[in-house]
Amino acid sequence: MADFVISRSTHVVADPEVVRACVGDFHEWVAWSPWEGSDPDLQRTYSGAERGTGARYEWRGNAKAGQGSMTVTSSTRSRSTSTSPSSSPSRRRTR
């Protein structure tokens, strides 16, 4: 399988510290992530740093939520927080 990179960015008109707190702390994602409503029984695991660089979030859910992980790979005071996501959809087997 070939490696590939998907990159997204946006400009948010807000206090950078507020945005960084929301993005760089995976515990805060339940308050704003559009995926949170996709599986009421979503299993979450947090590890690594509490927030910022090194924080890790893993999830496992239904077919819509799938499973995967994200790690904050860098977080700078000036402008940005970068994550490294890895996910896969759940597969349903039918007979």
How do residues 24-62 score in pLDDT, each as one tens digit? 899 998 998 887 888 999 999 999 999 988 999 999 989
* Amino acid 22: pLDDT: 86
Q: Which of 20-24, 71-75, 90-94 has the lowest mean pLDDT?
A: 90-94
Residue carrying structure tokens 């759940």? 90
Under 8 Å between Cβ of 62 and 39: yes
Q: What is the mean pLDDT of residues 6-12?
A: 78
* Amino acid 93: pLDDT: 44
Q: What are the start-end ranges of the E strands in 1-95? A: 43-48, 55-60, 67-75, 81-88
Under 8 Å between Cβ of 29 and 38: no
Report the candidate in 52, 50, 45, 49 with the shortest Cα–Cα distance to residue 67.
45
